[in-house]
Structure 1
Amino acid sequence: MTHASTTLAPPVAASQPAQRDRARPSFLRTSGVAVGLFLGVRLTGVAVLALVARGAGRHPLTLLTRSWDSVWYLGIAAHGYGHDLPSRDPDPHSDLAFFPLYPALLRAATALTPFSGGIAGLLISWTAAAVAAAGIHAVGSLLHGRATGVALVLLWGLLPHSVVLSMAYTEPVLAAFAAWSLYAALAGKWLWAGALAALAGLARPNGFAVAAAVLAAAGAEAWRRRGKVSRVSHRLWTGAALAPLGWTAYVLWVGRRKDDLLGGYFEVQRLWGSTFDFGWGSVQFLRAMLLHGSRFVFPMALVLVAAGTVLYALLLLDRAPLPLLVFSGVLLLIALGGSGFFESKPRFLLPAFPLLLPLARGLVRTARARPWHATVLVAALAGLSYLYGAYLLVYAQEPL
């Protein structure tokens, strides 16, 4: 028996690279299907938006390229930092609240292409959204198979706030770096995980959630290998060291400009009305909303954040990998514990695609057992996503 095992081992080992080579084209085809499906649902959403906007006398391209934060990013790309916007508050709003990666990409795109700022912004966002969809598919496929990966991408593209993924906004950029950083962490590619986390930290204030996930995963891996013969690779420590650099560098740079190295950036955010108060500001806002009523956007935001909380509980029960739990948990904590811009909280959760994993697995099971039920469910989600997205941009008049 020992002799037979010895003689069979080399052919099995030799066949593994060949099996991987055969599986790679199949995976790429499935990834292409997922990205194509994502682009299809988002293009349909843009078409619905265009119809609604035209009916309201609004130009859809202007809505997609020059709504709310898009104007700030275009201004930073064109003129650099250092410009304030007068507001109803005693203090002006500073553009230092906006992280630098997206404006840098805008400058590069306008310099290298014939497109103007707004169109270049859409080009960046749509490209980043497609890259994010591929990364989300890769994470879902790695954990639960390719069908779940495709379902995960589909659900992400049909979220009620997914219209933001079609706008000149930063969420697609953060989602792209986050998805591939998390995939690299799950696959043990620590240098890639850390480098992509650093770039995610330059994209948005909540980009440090990616660094937190990589640091947690690296720490858990180092703890798992303690005392074992296989030592922790220097790549793990280097990746962990890289992960927080982007976010930390920008926060310190703003602090230096404001003559308060550690507190300057947070003071900028405070003047915008954004602070972390463990949810007290949100509780006060909810109280006022219940007592005095509010526009449709605010109750919808409450429902979506509550749904995110339930999905996180399901993710915990599902024993998802640590980096996904940390990444989603930090984003959810920011949404729940931060004050200001209550209507924007669902947008802050857009990059938290792991929250959709339990739904994606359920959708796959439903599609296999009752295909018609799955079709009706996806159609209902699409209708909600398209109509609500058009409402947010055309009629809501509330910051996204």
Structure 2
Amino acid sequence: MAVERTAPAASRPAAGAGAGAAWRFGTALREATPALLTYAAVRAIGLVVMGVWMAAVDESPHRFLAERWDSRWYARIAEEGYGYSSYSSGRDHPDLAFFPLLPALERAVTAVLPISTNNAGLVVGWTAGLAAAWGMYAVAALSHRRAVGVVLVALWAALPTAYVQSMAYTETLFTALAAWTLHAVLTDRWRLVAVLAFAAGLTRPAGVAVVAAVWVGGAAVLLRRRGGGDAPPRGRVWGAMALAPLGWLGYVAWVSVRRGSPTGYFDVQKEWGNGFDGGRAFVGFMADMVRVDPLHGLLLLTVAAALLVLLVACVRQRQPLPLLAYTAVIAVTALVSGGYFTSRPRLLMPAFPLLLPLAALLTRLPRAATAGLLTAAAVGSGAYGTWFVLGQMGPP
């Protein structure tokens, strides 16, 4: 006589849609736990290195992580709203250059927690860092072994510019929204795509890269449907493609209305010294750095060469078209504009698919060798970040 086998109570969802969703969330969280712990450990190593170094020179890590550069601008917007400008280096710097989602979240955090706006920025940034790590792991797990996702997260946390992931900046928030948007595109959850892409567009100018990924992914689904393949409802896909750019477009339009000019947002960028020039200014900057500061200049050249190699590797790895579109637009927007050249490596940080080929390669090594290399990278990342901010190389 056959015996019916049932799953243990702890491993099967309880009755009801809500219970089933909670069970699926719990299962996904358990699967991602190694990646999340790895991310936290790598970032902790970087912060310990920074803390020890700064203690030796009687400096405060908190001042650099939460109270300098863009962090101050976001905190001011959260506290007072838009309208502040400063004038320095012969330029006007209006706060309209900064997108609104991070200061809105900072304001929400201070409404429920008795902390300063600057510390609220750290809460948002650090929490978003974990969400970004989970999203990157989830994207990698769709087409690779889970170990590749864990190594991908570790590599991202150990980038030379990864100290920014521990600052009250938008990099972790944007990367989290982008990674989960890409995951939703690849898994045909188009309602979620629309919400996440809209939010990414309210986070930073690079939201256009998320829109590109949504449009490319949506076009592929519609073509698949025309060819008779299995695909989600056409209206749902078209709706996501239509809603995806509205966050970015909405903020740009709001700035244009506020400035009384259809090019208002782009005028603001020019006032900051930013503007698209095809990359000429960036090439000139790197040449000057090689001449004036050879060590830093050679590092920038190495990063640029590695970027090209990794882009080719992503294509050869046959990454899904939405990932390739997202990565390409991030690279273009980061490298073809003028001004604030020391920030270019930071602006490339959300392009995490670039690290997938390297992550896949590292997982083929013995586990001890991979762990040793990632630990060394984490220590090096902390040292580089501390050297950069203490050396006043420019805004990160």
2:351 corresponds to: 352
Residues in 2 aligned to 1:181 and 1:132: alpha-carbon distance in whole angstroms: 11
The alignment status of 1:388 with 2:392, answered yes or no, reads no
Equivalent residue letter for 1:376:
G
- Give yes or no for contact 2:274–2:337 (8 Å, CA) kept in 1: yes
Residues in 2 aligned to 1:24 and 1:271: alpha-carbon distance in whole angstroms: 45
Residues in 1 aligned to 2:169 and 2:297: alpha-carbon distance in whole angstroms: 21
- Give yes or no for contact 2:222–2:234 (8 Å, CA) kept in 1: no
Quote the offset at 1:371 in angstroms.
3.1
Q: Using a 3 Å threshold, how does the CA distance of structure 1 residues 373 and 40 change in structure 2: closer, same or farther? A: closer
Quote the offset at 1:178 in angstroms.
0.5
Unaligned runs of 5+ in 2: 1-10, 14-19
Residues in 1 aligned to 2:272 and 2:129: alpha-carbon distance in whole angstroms: 27
Match runs of 1:208-223 below 5 Å: 208-223=208-223
1:378 corresponds to: 374
Could you give the per-residue CA deviations for residues 183-222 of structure 1, whole angstroms, max 9, x where no partner exists? 0000011111121011011001112211111111101211
1:300 corresponds to: 299
Match runs of 1:328-339 below 5 Å: 328-339=327-338
1:121 corresponds to: 121
Equivalent residue letter for 1:41:
V
Quote the offset at 1:233 in angstroms.
2.7
Q: SS at the partner of 1:92? A: strand
- Give yes or no for contact 2:75–2:103 (8 Å, CA) kept in 1: yes
Could you give the per-residue CA deviations for residues 262-292 of structure 1, whole angstroms, max 9, x where no partner exists? x1101110111111111111122233334x4
Equivalent residue letter for 1:147:
A
2:76 corresponds to: 75
Count of aligned pairs: 379
Could you give the per-residue CA deviations for residues 337-396 of structure 1, whole angstroms, max 9, x where no partner exists? 121111111100111111000011011111xxx334323322321222111011122223
Residues in 1 aligned to 2:297 and 2:388: alpha-carbon distance in whole angstroms: 11
- Give yes or no for contact 2:160–2:385 (8 Å, CA) kept in 1: yes
Q: SS at the partner of 1:143? A: coil
Q: SS at the partner of 1:388? A: helix
- Give yes or no for contact 2:287–2:297 (8 Å, CA) kept in 1: no
Equivalent residue letter for 2:142:
L
1:59 corresponds to: 60
- Give yes or no for contact 2:42–2:375 (8 Å, CA) kept in 1: no
Residues in 2 aligned to 1:360 and 1:380: alpha-carbon distance in whole angstroms: 15
Residues in 1 aligned to 2:205 and 2:25: alpha-carbon distance in whole angstroms: 36
Residues in 1 aligned to 2:227 and 2:299: alpha-carbon distance in whole angstroms: 51
- Give yes or no for contact 2:330–2:348 (8 Å, CA) kept in 1: yes
Could you give the per-residue CA deviations for residues 86-108 of structure 1, whole angstroms, max 9, x where no partner exists? 1112x311110000000111111
Moved more, 201-210 or 18-27: 18-27
Quote the offset at 1:242 in angstroms.
1.2
Residues in 2 aligned to 1:229 and 1:284: alpha-carbon distance in whole angstroms: 49
Could you give the per-residue CA deviations for residues 110-155 of structure 1, whole angstroms, max 9, x where no partner exists? 1111111111111000000001111111011111021111111111
Quote the offset at 1:229 in angstroms.
7.6
Equivalent residue letter for 2:283:
V
Q: Using a 3 Å threshold, how does the CA distance of structure 1 residues 188 and 359 change in structure 2: closer, same or farther? A: same
2:283 corresponds to: 283
Could you give the per-residue CA deviations for residues 48-86 of structure 1, whole angstroms, max 9, x where no partner exists? 111111112211111110121101111111111111111
Match runs of 1:171-210 below 5 Å: 171-210=171-210
Equivalent residue letter for 1:352:
A
1:133 corresponds to: 133
Residues in 2 aligned to 1:132 and 1:253: alpha-carbon distance in whole angstroms: 28
Quote the offset at 1:295 in angstroms.
7.0
Residues in 1 aligned to 2:354 and 2:87: alpha-carbon distance in whole angstroms: 37
1:147 corresponds to: 147
1:362 corresponds to: 361
Moved more, 37-46 or 221-230: 221-230
Residues in 2 aligned to 1:397 and 1:363: alpha-carbon distance in whole angstroms: 32
TM-score, normalised on structure 1? 0.89
TM-score, normalised on structure 2? 0.90
2:169 corresponds to: 169
Quote the offset at 1:23 in angstroms.
9.4
Could you give the per-residue CA deviations for residues 286-332 of structure 1, whole angstroms, max 9, x where no partner exists? 33334x41375454333223312211110011110011101110011
- Give yes or no for contact 1:191–1:235 (8 Å, CA) kept in 2: yes
- Give yes or no for contact 1:301–1:343 (8 Å, CA) kept in 2: no
Q: SS at the partner of 1:398? A: coil
2:33 corresponds to: 32
- Give yes or no for contact 1:301–1:342 (8 Å, CA) kept in 2: no
Unaligned runs of 5+ in 1: 1-16
Q: Using a 3 Å threshold, how does the CA distance of structure 1 residues 184 and 289 change in structure 2: closer, same or farther? A: same
